[in-house]
Amino acid sequence: MKRTLQSLVGGGLLAWAVALAPLPANPQPALPPPPAGSTTPTGAAEVRQFTLSNGMTLIVKPDRRAPTAVHMVWLRVGSMDEDDGQSGVAHVLEHMLFKGTQELKPGEFSRRVAALGGTDNAFTARDYTGYHQQIPAERLEDVMRLEADRFANNQWPDDEFRRELEVVKEERRLRVEDSPRALMFEVLNATTFLASPYRRPIVGWMSDLEAMTPEDARAFYRRWYTPANAAVVVAGDVDPAEVLKLAERHYGRIPARPVPPRKPQGEPPQRGPRQVEIKAPADQAFTAMQFKVPRLTSFESTRENDDALALSVLDAVLDGHGGARLPRALTQGADRVADSVGASNGLWGRGPQLFTLTGVPAPGKTPEQVRAALRAEVDRVAREGITEAELQRVKTRWIAAEVYKLDSIFSQARELGAYWAYGLPLDSGERLIRRLRDITPAQVQAVAARYFGDDQLTIGTLRPLPLEKPAAPRQPPPGARH
């Protein structure tokens, strides 16, 4: 299924941690005015952002259509913040946050959330880590108390770590090593990026998991799980003033510590095409082309920001709906070149972004033919441009998605957390729509001509080997959370 607008917010779902101190003596801070530029979307009140006494961020979005609330804790740390030789530690630590505190036994956190009538889980991405619960609104303080405790007091015995590490290793086998396309993308990303930490897989290389120690996870926890590197996001049937009081009571007492400095890890210019091939048992071949493109860093009109927006429009024109250019041109008719095709633009993130074209060859066709056909469609846009009707269809769908996302309180909270993690304004969704309205056909044509040459291209190809004797499908490991 093609992504909706809100799915541009983050990456994929896959990994959370100082002792409670006395309540601060200073009185509760007064409610500040709403952030500049905030608006009131249908069905929800204005988003409010606060800074707690220890530097932790609090973001609150009331939505009173149902007596429920979503509570999330976000950390601006993910797999891109790991050191070489410790890939996967952010994700492993996410698992260990469910393994106890001074007050809770392993697994008791989730049992208590369930007893409150709620659900919980967590995720790790390249740019961030998040923990979330959805509960009846009147139980918000209960989950805040639980989450603040494990943020500040996460602890577990070494044997618990070793058991959970086996769960993560099995997760890697299930999701990567048993999936030929996932395996190909893992190698492709490691080839596309040389210096950027995006080259490392979120789940970690198996050799790094094999060598990981309990102290590796504890050190990562001590380094990054500090209030100044975290945000609490609450959305639902809540009052911002009351949420602020609860947050100061439970999170504000966690001792403040500085966020460690982050060294720049820029990607050097690519000076020619790269190509990798993976051979694995599979039904069909598969190919992907990754082109380095600019990312959106702000909503100021600059060359890179404007091009990043125009590339997202190009993405939607090529593959934004069933009648888009790529599926219509390449997957229909008796002589179709592909069984399926796709396009995806990485609009924003903490690291470098890519525009990706993918395809599965139709019977009798080759990956090379699919790649040629995909590039021919981009070249066609570069030569002939797009129609005003195509552009308006894309904009209409995006505006509709901005309204539909309000149906999900979880989606609202997740979007706000991701904007915070990226360092973007909390009303970025609305700003994005306003900026996209101004993108012209000429801008889309220009980026199609500018970014799809060979110098910034890395190609990945899955060459299918004969399928082995069918085996019982691998089941998710006990304790897998995602």
Q: Hey, which residues are catalytic here?
A: 94
Q: Is 239 left (phi over 0), alpha (psi -120 to 50) or beta?
A: beta
CA distance 380 to 81: 40
Q: Which of 177, 212, 171, 190 is closest to 85 using CA atoms?
A: 212
Angle at which helices 441-450 and 388-404 cross, to 10°: 100
Pairing of strands 274-281, 129-136: unpaired
Rounded Cα–Cα distance for residues 192 and 176 (Å) = 18
DSSP class of 387 = -
Which residues does residue 353 pair with via DSSP β-bridges, in sequence order? 293
Please name which of 241, 235, 253 lies closest in space to residue 30, comparing C-alpha atoms.
Answer: 241
Contacts of 80 (CB under 8 A, 6+ apart): 126, 127, 196, 197, 198, 200, 265, 350, 351
Residue with the two structure tokens 């405790």: 149
Phi, psi of 436 (to 5 degrees): -65, -30
3-state SS of the chain: helix, strand, coil percent to 5? 40, 15, 40
Round to whole Å and give the CA distance between 31 and 29: 6
* Pairing of the two strands 274-281 and 457-465: parallel
Are the beta carbons of 214 and 161 closer than 8 angstroms? yes
In sequence order, what E strands does 33-143 have? 48-51, 57-62, 68-75, 119-124, 129-136
Tell me if 279 sits within 8 A of 463, measured CB to CB: yes
β-strand partners of 310: none
Taking a C-beta distance cutoff of 8 angstroms, is the pair 236, 62 a contact? yes
